[in-house]
Amino acid sequence: MNMHFDLAQTLPGGMPVPAPCSDASFCQRCEVRDRAICATLEEDERGALNRLGRRVTIAAGQTVMWEGDDATIVANVIDGTLKLSASTGDGREQIVGVVYPSDFIGRPFGRSTPHSVTALTDARLCLFTRGAFDGFAREHPELEHRLLQRTLDDLDRARSWMLLLGRKNAREKIATFLLDMSRRLAREGEAPLDRFDLPLSRQQIADVLGLTIETVSRQLTDLKRIGIIALPGRRMVEIRDRAALLDCSEAA
C-alpha cells in the first residue's frame, strides 16, 4: 500500500505539496481536533495519521480541487471557509455548498472529484493523498464509521437545502442562510454568533440561494429596516432579534 506523497505532486495553480508533518504535537494543538474526521482516533492512531498529512495554507480565491479531475487528495479544513461549486451546461458556476473549519473535503474511495473546491477566505488544510487516507481508513473502522456519519449528515443538509430552494420564498431563504452562517461560523460548543462576517459576497449568496443580487440586497435591507439585523460593515451582520429571524426562516 502506498502511504507516501509523490514529492513532485503539486496542487492546482502550481503550488507544491509541502513536506510531511514531522511535528508530533500538531494534533494536540489543532483547533478542530475534537470535531474533525479524526476525532474518534486514539492518540497513537491520530499521530500515525498526522505523519501522513501535510499542512497547507490556501489563499482566498485559490482552487484546491477541480470538478471532474481525478480524486487524488482529501483534506480536513482547519481554518477558513471554502465553497463547493459545479459547472452548468452553459459554463456558468453554481455554488452547491460551503465548508467550514472541521469539515472534510474530497472524495475518499472515489475516482473523480464531483465539484470544485475554492477558498473564499485564506484557509489552512490538513491535506492527505487519497490513496494514503483510504488505506489508513480501511485499517481503522472507527474512522470509516466517522466518514459514514459525515456522509449522512451531508445528505441531511442537502435535503434541507432542497427544501430551502424549492419551497421557501426570498425572505425565508435569506433568514435561513443567516441563521446557518451564525451556527456554522461559531466554534465547537459555543452558542451561535450574533455578529459575524459573511464569507460570501452578495452575488455569491444570490447564486447559492437561487436569487438575484438585487433581491438579496433588498431582503437584507428590509431585515435591517425592521430591526431584526444590523449591517455595520460591508460583509458584517449583527443579529439583533434571533427569534424574529427564526420566524422569518420558517416556511408556512
Query: What are the sequence ranges of the domains in the chain?
Result: 12-152, 168-249
* pTM for the structure as a whole: 0.76
Answer whether residue 8 shows pLDDT above 50.
no
Distance CA 54, CA 47 (A): 13
Q: What percent of the chain has pLDDT over 90?
A: 37
Sequence-distant (≥ 6) Cβ neighbours of residue 155 within 8 angstroms = none
Distance CA 198, CA 220 (A): 12
Contacts (Cβ under 8 Å, ≥6 apart) of 225 = none
Q: What is the mean pLDDT of the chain?
A: 84
Of 18-32, 124-138, 155-169, 234-248, give the lowest mean pLDDT range.
Answer: 18-32
Segments in 115-212 forming alpha helices (H): 130-139, 141-167, 170-184, 202-209
Alpha carbon 152 to its chain's center: 15
Q: Which residue's entry shows cell 431582503?
A: 219
Q: Is 76 helix (H, G, I), strand (E, B) or coil?
A: strand
CA distances from 157 to 22, 65, 104, 184 (A): 36, 21, 14, 12
Q: How far apart, in Å, are the Cα atoms of 139 and each of 48, 110, 118?
A: 12, 17, 30
Q: How many angstroms separate the most distant Cα atoms in the chain?
A: 61
Q: How far apart are CA 245 and CA 228, in angstroms?
A: 6
pLDDT digits (tens, 9 = 90+) for 114-163: 889 999 889 999 999 999 999 999 999 888 888 888 888 877 777 776 67
Asked whether the beta carbons of 61 and 122 are under 8 A apart, the reply is no
**Interval 196-207: pLDDT, tens:** 999 888 988 888
CA 122, CA 30: separation in Å to the nearest integer?
Answer: 17
Q: What class, spelled out in words, does domain 168-249 have in CATH?
A: mainly alpha
Fold of 12-152: Jelly Rolls (2.60.120)
DSSP 79-90: ES-EEEEEE-TT
Determine the 3-state secondary structure of 235 from DSSP.
Answer: coil
For helices 43-52 and 130-139, give the axis angle rounded to 10 degrees. 160
Q: Are 41 and 35 in contact (CB under 8 A)?
A: no
